[in-house]
Structure 1
C-alpha cells in the first residue's frame, strides 16, 4: 500500500508503524481447529512472510465460525498490518462484529486503535483505549494497551503524558530485556517529536526522570545526532542526568568523541568578501557562521573561527599562509576554481583544507586536500538514480550546447547506463533560443512521423486526418535547463504530443525568482534539502536566513553550502586517520570518496501548481516499513546503528 505523504506526515506514519507493529503481537491461543494450518501461518509469520501468513489465517477463518472465526480473522488483521497492508487489514476488521468482551474485544480494540494511529487520529485511538485502561486486563494485554496510549499522546504533541505512560508500562514487564525494549520504543516517540515542543516540556516539568528524556530527545532532534553540538550536548547531558535510564539508549549508539576533541580548535574561512564574487562569499560565510553558532551555543570553550578575504589578502595561497601562522588547524575554502587550483599546486599543505570547489579532473589533489562543491554532476547522477528507482530505464536527453550541458550529460549517461539504463538519444539546444521544436521533433522521432504522413498523402492524392506520433520506446526525458528555457521546453513538449513523458531535471531549473512555475508543473528535479525539504533539526533555518539576509534569498543554496561546510570539518578533521561517516546535511547526504571529493545524494521535488513540492527519496511508507519491520523494531536517527527489537 502506498501512503499519500500529503495526507500522512512522516512523523505520524513513524509512530503509527511502531504502534501497529509492536501492538499487534499474536496472543497465546490454544485449542484451535486446523492446527496444521495455524502452525503453517505461524511459520510464515516468523520467517517474515506476513502477507502469506495473513492469507493462511483468513483462509482458515473462512472454514470456521463464531469466536474461532473472529480469532482467526484478527490474526489475519495483525499479519496484514505487519505486511504494511492497512487496506486489507481495515477491510478484514470491518467484517468482524464488535466482540462482547474478553480477549477478543481486547484484541479487536488494540487493532482498531492501531489503525486509528495509522491514520493520524490519536483521539480516535484513545477513545478505544481509555476504557480498556480502566479494566483489570491480563499483563500482556495491559502492556499493549499502555504502549498504544503512549503513542497516541505522542501524536497529540503531549510528550510528558506519553513518557509517563511508558514509564508506568514497565510495571507490567517481567524482564530486563522487555524494559530495555520499552525504553527504545519511548525513544522512538521522542525521535518523531518536535524539538521545541520537547524543550518547552522539559522546562515545565519537575520530574527528573521525565525531564531527562525530554532534554535528550530535544538535543537529538535539534542536532540530527551529528556534529559537535550533539557530541558536546551528550557530554553535558550525561553530567546533568547521571544514572538516568536513557543512558542505556546512548550506550547502544556509536557516539562521537566527547567534547570538541574531534574538532579543530581554530578554523580559518577563506572566501572572496570584496570585489567579484563577494556576494557568494558572504552567503557561504553566513551559512558557515550560522551553523557554528547553532552548534556551539551551549559550549563554554568553543573553537575559534577566523575569516579571511581572499581578494584582499594577495590570493588564496597568501591567505592560507596567514591563516596557518595565526594558528589555524583546519582551513575551509577557497571558493573559486582558480583559487582552489592555486592552493592545490602546493605539494605540501601543513594544515588540512576543505576547498569549496572541485579541481579539474586531471589534477591530483595533495594529501589533506578535500573538495566540496555544489556540482551539477552530482545532481545529474542523482537524476539517473532516480529514474532507475522509478523503474524507467529508457530515456532521452535535452541539454544546452555548452560546457555545462556536456558535463551534465556525461555524468547522467555514465550513472544511468552503469545502473542498467539505456540513453536512446540526446539533442543539444541553444539556451538563448525561444523555439525548440526542431530538437524535440528530432529527439522524439516526430519528424519521421510527419514524413510518413506526407508520403502517404501524396500516394493517396488527398488530405488525411493526422496526429503526429512520437516514438514509443521512451520512458522519460532528462532535461538540463535553467528556468527560462525549461518553461519553454516543457510547454513545447506538451505541444508536440509528448506531455505524458516524465521529465527529470536538476536544481538549475528552479530559479527562486518569485515567478510562478506553472509551466513546469510535473517536472521532477534534484535539489538541496535546505530548499525543498530541510531535515527537522534545520527546518527553521532557511526562513531565518531569509529574514536576516533578505538580499541573499536567491543565494540560499550557498547558505546551505556554508552550513554543511562547517559540519564537514568535524567529519574530515578526524578522517585523516579513518573514514568519514555520512552526514545528513543541508545540501544533501554527504559522503567522502577516496579521491578526497565530497559528493551529495540529493533531495527531490516536483512542481505542482507552480510550486516545488518535496518527493520522498523512495516510497515513504515502504522506507518506514523496511526500517521498522516487525522483526526489527528499532529506532534510528538519520544514521541508525545497532538495531534492536521492540516489544
Structure 2
C-alpha cells in the first residue's frame, strides 16, 4: 500500500514537470508605445507619452526621452512647448547622436522665432566633418537660412557654395545655383571685391567673376558671349556650368537692346517737384531740336501725383518702346517692383541696392561728386583732411559720405570735422576750431596766469593737407577770405560742385581763388559734342541757377543715352560727364575738375578713375 502511494506521488510529480507552464502577458513597454505613435505620425500623443515617461526615469535616461518629446512637440506644430522643453534638457546626459538632434532642433526653433544669431549658436556646437551626408545638407541649409534672416549676404553665399557640394537632386542643385548667382548680383561692387579677397576658394571666386561679368553685360550680346568663353576657360568644370545651368540662365537674359521709335517721359509737371521736371524737359527739348538729334516720337506724362505703375501700363498700351523717368525716388521704387519691365525704364534717380533687368538708372547724386573731388585731392598727394559742412541735412549727408569714402575706400585720415550755420556770415568760430586756434588761445590764457607779460601769437595746426568744403557760392565767398584772414593761406580747398553758380562771375568769384571742385563738363564749357552751349541754351530758356542747369543737362543725356550708350555699351561724352554703363544698369558719370583762376573756373582734367561706384539717391 505504501509502495503504491509512493509510486502515485512520483507519477504526479513527473507529469507536473512535463506540463507546459501557464504564460501571463508581459506588461506593455511605454517607450515602445510612444515610438509607435511617433512612427504613425501621431506626434501630439507621442509627445505626451514621452514627456510622462521621462518623469519616471533617472537623469541619464530622462534627458534623451525629453529630447524625443521635444522633437514630437515640434513636429506636432506646438513650437512653444517644444521651446520650453528644450530648455530643460541637460547636454551632459545626451549621447553624441542626440546632441546633433538637439542642435538641429534648437536651430529650427530659433529660426521660427526669427532669431538667426541663436540658431547659429546652436549649429556652432557641431563639427560638420563628423556629420553624415544627409545631416551635412541640413547643417549648411540651416546656416544659410540663418545668414539670410540676419541679412549677411556674403556669409549666405559662402554657405550656399558649401551646401552645393552635398546636394544630389538636380532640382535642389538648380535652385541652390540660382540663389548663389542672384544673391551675388544683389551685392554692391565693393562687397563683391571684399568677398573675393576674404580667402575665397576657387569655386567661390568663379561664382564672383561670373556675377561681375553678368552685371557688366545685362543683355545678350557678342561681348557677353566672349566674356563667358573666357570665364569657362578660367574656371573649367565649375558648378555653374554643369547640367546646363548657365545656358538656361543666359537664355533668360534680356534680348539685345534696340533704339526705341517711341519714348514716354514721366516727369512731375505739377506738385512740389514741378520745377525740377520743367528743367529736365527743357534739356530734352534742347537736344531734340538740334539737327543731329535722333528722331523718335515723344509723349510726356505728368508723374507729379499719378501712380507710376498706371502710367507705365498706359504708356505701354500706347506703344512706348522706352520710358524715361520717373524723377522721384519713391516712384522709381514702385516701378522696380513690377514683375517685368518691358518696355525698359531709364529712371532719373537711383535706388540702392536694387538692380533689375531692363532698369537703367541715371541721376545726379551729391555722393558721386563728393567721391570724385575726394579722388582729385588724393591724386594730388593729400592724405589728411579737415572737413567743414553746413549744419543741415545735406551737410550731414555729404560730410558723412566724404568721411566714409576718404577713410574706408581711399585710406586717408579725417583730422577734424566742423559744421557752420548756413544762414550766417561770420564763420570765425568753426574755422578757429578746425585750425586749433581756439586751443592756442586757451594755452595762452593758462600761460598768462603765470607770465602776465606774455603776448598772444596764435599758432594754428600744421598737420592738415587740405580742407574739404561743402558750401554755396555765397558761403564759399565768405569762408575762404576768413580762412585767409586767420592765416591759413597754406591750406588747399577742395569743394563740392555747389560752390559754382553755373555762370562765370570773375568779380564775385575772386574770393574763391584757387578753390578746386568737380562738376558736369557742360557747365564748365567742356567739349560735349553736338549739344548747345550753356549760353545758347539760356538764350532760349532764360537765366537759371546752377542746380536748375544741372537738371537740364540730365535731360539732355537722358535723351541721348537710348541711342548711344544703351545700343553699344561704349563710353560716350554727355552733358553730365563721360558716361559709362556700370553693373546693374547704373550709368556712371566721370566729371570734369576745375580750379578758380582770376575768378573763373579753369578745367585741369577729368576726375581720377579711382572712385568706387555707389548708388545713392538724388535729393
> What TM-score range do you get, normalising by the shorter chain?
0.5 to 0.7
- The correspondence for 2:523, drawn from 527, 531, 551, is 531
The one-character-per-residue Cα deviations of 1:563-598 (angstroms, maximum 9, x if unpaired) are: 1112222355447xxxx3222211112223323322
Work out whether 1:331 is the aligned partner of 2:323. Answer: yes
Among 435, 438, 460, the residue aligned to 2:429: 438
Unpaired runs of 5+ in structure 1? 1-259, 624-647
- TM-score under structure 1 normalisation? 0.50
Q: What is aligned with 1:500?
A: 490
Equivalent residue, structure 1, for 2:298: 305
- Matches for 1:228-627 after TM superposition, within 5 Å: 262-294=258-290, 296=292, 302-311=295-304, 314-359=306-351, 361=352, 364-417=354-407, 418-464=409-455, 466-512=456-502, 516-535=508-527, 537-538=529-530, 540-552=532-544, 554=546, 555-571=548-564, 573-574=566-567, 580-617=569-606
**RCO higher in 1 or 2 (8 Å CA, sep ≥ 6)?**
1
Other structure's SS at 2:385 match: strand
Judged with a 3 Å threshold, the aligned counterparts in structure 2 of structure 1 residues 410 and 591 are, in CA distance, closer, same or farther, namely farther
User: Alignment partner of 2:523: what SS?
Assistant: helix
Q: Kindly state the Cα deviation for residue 512 of structure 1 after the two structures are TM-superposed.
A: 4.1
Displacement of 1:261: 8.1
Per the TM alignment, residue 416 of structure 1 is displaced from its structure 2 partner at its CA by 2.5
- Whether the 8 Å CA contact 1:604–1:617 is kept in 2: the answer is yes
Cα distance in 2 for partners of 1:265, 1:492 equals 56
Offset at residue 529 of structure 1 (A): 0.4
Give the SS at the match of 1:562.
helix
Aligned length: 350
Give deviations 1:600-627, integer Å, cap 9, x for gaps: 22112222333323223389xxx9xxxx
Shift, 1:392, TM fit = 1.2
CA shift at 1:520, angstroms? Answer: 1.7
Summarize deviations over 1:408-436 as a string: whole Å, max 9, x none: 22332333332232222211223223332
Deviation for aligned residue 1:545: 0.7
Q: Helix, strand or coil for the counterpart of 2:290?
A: helix
Q: Which has the larger radius of gyration?
A: 2
- CA shift, 1:331, in A, is 0.7
Question: How far apart, CA to CA, are the structure 2 residues paired with 1:539 and 1:296?
Answer: 9
Distance 2:458 2:448 in 1: 14
Mapped contact 2:522–2:528 kept (Cα < 8 A): no
Does the 8 A contact of 1:507 with 1:527 survive in 2?
yes
Contact 1:426 1:443 in 2 (8 A): yes
Which residue is 1:194 aligned to?
none
**1: CA distance between counterparts of 2:291 and 2:415?**
48
Q: After TM superposition, give the deviation of residue 532 of structure 1 in Å.
A: 0.7
Q: Shift in Å at residue 448 of structure 1?
A: 1.6
Q: Which residue of the partner structure matches residue 224 of structure 2?
A: none
How far apart in 2 are the matches of 1:538 and 1:500? 41
Is the Cα–Cα contact under 8 Å of residues 385 and 415 in structure 1 kept in the other structure? Answer: no
CA RMSD, 1 decimal: 2.7
Q: Which runs of 5+ in 2 are unaligned?
A: 1-255, 610-619
For residues 232-267 of structure 1, the C-alpha deviation after alignment (integer angstroms, 9 at most, x for no partner) is xxxxxxxxxxxxxxxxxxxxxxxxxxxx98412221
Preserved CA contact (<8 Å) 1:283 1:552: no
Are the aligned partners of 1:346 and 1:366 in contact in 2 as well (CA < 8 Å)? no
Q: Deviations over 1:351-384 (max 9, x none)?
A: 211111122x3x5243322221111101100111
CA distance in 1: counterparts of 2:530 and 2:523, whole angstroms: 11
Q: Distance in 1 between matches of 2:591 and 2:290?
A: 23
Task: Tell me the TM-score normalized by structure 2.
Answer: 0.53
